[in-house]
Amino acid sequence: MSAVKDIELTLDPEVEDLLPAHTDDEEKAFRESVDRDGYFTDDLLYWRENGKCVLVDGYRRYRLWQSLPKNSIIPPPHVKEVKLPDRQAVKQWMIRRQLGRRNLSDTARSIYRGKLYNETKSDPTDNLKEGESPKDQNDPSGKQGTFATSAAVSVARETKSSPATVKRDGAFVDALEAIGKVNSKAKSDIEAERMKVSKQAVIAIGKLDKDGIAQALTNIRNGKKWDHKEPPKEDKRTSFNVAEIEGPPTYNFEPHIKALEKLMRFADDSKSTHGRIAEYIAVETHYRKLHAALKALEARVTA
């Protein structure tokens, strides 16, 4: 068995993304355990691809070893080759390896179920029964939508869950990928449960555009609901410029003007009938001024 110092390992972002995100407490506990034991308990695993030795398990151990001082008494971890036919097989092997861990959080388990489903449904031959071909799984219309259903049933059986849960976990993983493209730290924080967001909310956020995702994450960081919207600010101005009105006018002045005209006629009749000239002159003056003001405003708004 070789030591890590004797072989050149390749770190692959796509492969590393399949490994779990760790909390700060987990990282601290891991470092303390290595210091306490004085050695790395697990081997680094790699897979050969196009002449390169791609690290498929042990990224955290590898980086910790690199960070040790040259005079450290802790020996380098051992490395071991994993023989798998292709990258698709590597991904599924890695996911199943993580699903086999006993200390997975609920979030991590959902993520790995979703990843296994997404990887499996992308390769229809992975779910074929003996003697069956991809064509056999097509529906009568010639569409291949039954691959996803077959994958959900297969993964649900393997992980002891329901097909609906598996599909929801697949959507959860897709949403995390969309969030990661906008804010990689937020993605890691959700995965490690440093940012508390429900699975349903993550899926909804993942369907937004980039600006919407960024705003939702900001809301969560500020202790608000992801879909929080600030109420419109109250306009406390006491006067307005008619030019500020956007679009066609929607206010109908006609009923008010007719009512004012009726009042003015009543004032005219009352003056001659009751002789209360002084009082109704004041009423008439008031309403005629208001009438003129309404007419002027109507003319400006409807111009």
pLDDT digits (tens, 9 = 90+) for 207-216: 999 999 999 9
pLDDT at position 60 is 92
Categorize the per-residue pLDDT at 142 as very low, low, confident or very high, splitting at 50, 70 and 90.
very low
Select from 42, 76, 44 the least CA-distant residue to 59.
Answer: 44
Q: How confident is the model over 8-35, as a mean pLDDT?
A: 88
Higher local confidence (pLDDT), 201 or 294:
201
Higher local confidence (pLDDT), 27 or 1:
27
**CB of 56 within 8 A of CB of 94?**
yes
Coil vs helix vs strand at 162: coil
pLDDT at position 120 is 87
Q: How confident is the model over 22-35, as a mean pLDDT?
A: 86
Around Cβ 244, how many Cβ atoms within 10 Å? Answer: 7
DSSP annotation of 177: H
CA distance 113 to 78: 30
CA distance 67 to 58: 14
Higher local confidence (pLDDT), 153 or 122:
153
pLDDT at position 61 is 93
CA distance 173 to 203: 8
pLDDT digits (tens, 9 = 90+) for 204-252: 999 999 999 999 999 999 999 999 887 777 766 655 555 554 554 455 6
Select from 37, 185, 23, 46 the least CA-distant residue to 108.
Answer: 23
N residues, the chain: 303
Higher local confidence (pLDDT), 43 or 257:
43
Categorize the per-residue pLDDT at 129 as very low, low, confident or very high, splitting at 50, 70 and 90.
very low
Q: Is the predicted pLDDT of residue 54 greater than 80, yes or no? A: yes
CA distance 106 to 72: 37
Q: Is the predicted pLDDT of residue 165 greater than 90, yes or no? A: yes
pLDDT digits (tens, 9 = 90+) for 80-92: 999 999 999 999 9
Q: Is the predicted pLDDT of residue 137 greater than 70, yes or no? A: no
Average pLDDT, the chain: 80
